[in-house]
Amino acid sequence: MLYLPELQHNSIGMIRHILLLFIVAPACTALSARGAPHAIILTAARTTEKHPLGGTHPITIWCAPDNPQVTISKATLTRQKDKKEFKMTVVGTKKNATYEIEKPTTHDAGEYLCALDTPYGKLDAKIPIYVRPLALSDNEHFTPIGDNEFILEGDRKSTSIGGDVNLTCPITGHPVPSIKWTKDSKPLELSNNVMLDGTTIRIKVSNESQAGLYSCEAVNEYSVGGKTSRLQLVVNKRVEIKSQMAWILPLAIIIIMFVLLILIIIACEARNRKKPDPKHRYGVE
């Protein structure tokens, strides 16, 4: 279009226009590459940074030029989170590149960038590997409730009136899960005593009614192979409030036992005194 006025004026312009069409057009239509998103299939929901949970199926990442005329001379895959590079295998009639993760773990989740070297320059595509929300159990202990691996119970927290409790929700996943807290199955109400700090809630305990079951619900959503999945993980944390009168009962027991002991001693003394001394009795005879 840029050369149109020139084209109307002379035939040299027309030739230039046609040449440009031939040189630029294939490059223009082939300026991108594509791949498909993948997901790591898991049967449990607890992982650690040190020992990432393994998936059940291998993953083959592929990447191909959008234009089927374009051949690939070299293909690399870069994991965005740590810039680690992987060499892809050029397959088929040099029209597709693949990289197989035979035993994927949750550590492999994230964004990848595939870069294809072609006669028309470097083409790239972003390829995600998704993972459902998972609990990070490096510093905390979680137990599945019943046989549902995706409903976990964390350690109980116990405090007294005037104390404070921090409830953490150490969740990972790709895309980053959104988190919602509930208390006793109702949306958690925030106040000066109940504050949200990132994914942690800080509770200043001022009232017995703050005891109960706090749940962190993490959800993420992704589409793989045309199918959209919405995946949830629930982490429950129970908060108990120690009664301020809790020390009364053990103290009462100690006092009662002490009183009983004294009574027994007094009773024995009294009996001993009433009984005539045998030595004395026989001594009289």
Ligand X SMILES: *[C@@H]1O[C@H](CO)[C@@H](O)[C@H](O)[C@H]1NC(C)=O
Q: Which residues bind ligand X (CB under 6 A)?
A: 60, 62, 64, 96, 98, 164-166, 202, 207, 209
What is the distance between the alpha carbons of residues 161 and 159, in angstroms, rounded to a whole number? 7
Counting Cα atoms < 13 Å in the Cβ hemisphere of 99 gives 25
Q: How far is the CB of 257 from ligand X (least distance, A)?
A: 33
What is the distance between the alpha carbons of residues 90 and 81, in angstroms, rounded to a whole number? 24
Q: How far is the CB of 148 from ligand X (least distance, A)?
A: 29
Q: Which is nearer to ligand X, 11 or 185 (CB)?
A: 185
Q: Which is nearer to ligand X, 161 or 179 (CB)?
A: 161
CB-CB contact of 38 with 61 (8 Å): yes
Q: How far is the CB of 229 from ligand X (least distance, A)?
A: 20
Q: How far from 179 is each of 18, 184, 267, CA to CA, in Å?
A: 57, 16, 67
Q: Which is nearer to ligand X, 122 or 202 (CB)?
A: 202
Joined tokens for residue 142:
């979680």
Joined tokens for residue 274:
């009433």
Cis peptide before 175 (omega within 30 of 0): yes
Q: How far is the CB of 184 from ligand X (least distance, A)?
A: 13
Q: Which is nearer to ligand X, 70 or 165 (CB)?
A: 165
Q: Which is nearer to ligand X, 45 or 97 (CB)?
A: 97
Sign of CA dihedral 265, 267, 272, 274: positive
Q: How far is the CB of 155 from ligand X (least distance, A)?
A: 13
Q: Which is nearer to ligand X, 211 or 231 (CB)?
A: 211
- Bridge-based pairing state of the strands 186-187 and 178-183: antiparallel
The amino acid that residue 122 corresponds to is K
Quickly tell me which residue has 């005593």 as its tokens.
193
Q: Which is nearer to ligand X, 78 or 168 (CB)?
A: 168
What is the distance between the alpha carbons of residues 56 and 114, in angstroms, rounded to a whole number? 24
CB neighbours of 109 closer than 8 A, spacing ≥ 6?
Answer: 40, 129, 130, 131, 173, 174
How would you classify residue 173: left for phi > 0, otherwise alpha for psi between -120 and 50, otherwise beta? Answer: left
Q: How far is the CB of 57 from ligand X (least distance, A)?
A: 14
Q: How far is the CB of 200 from ligand X (least distance, A)?
A: 7
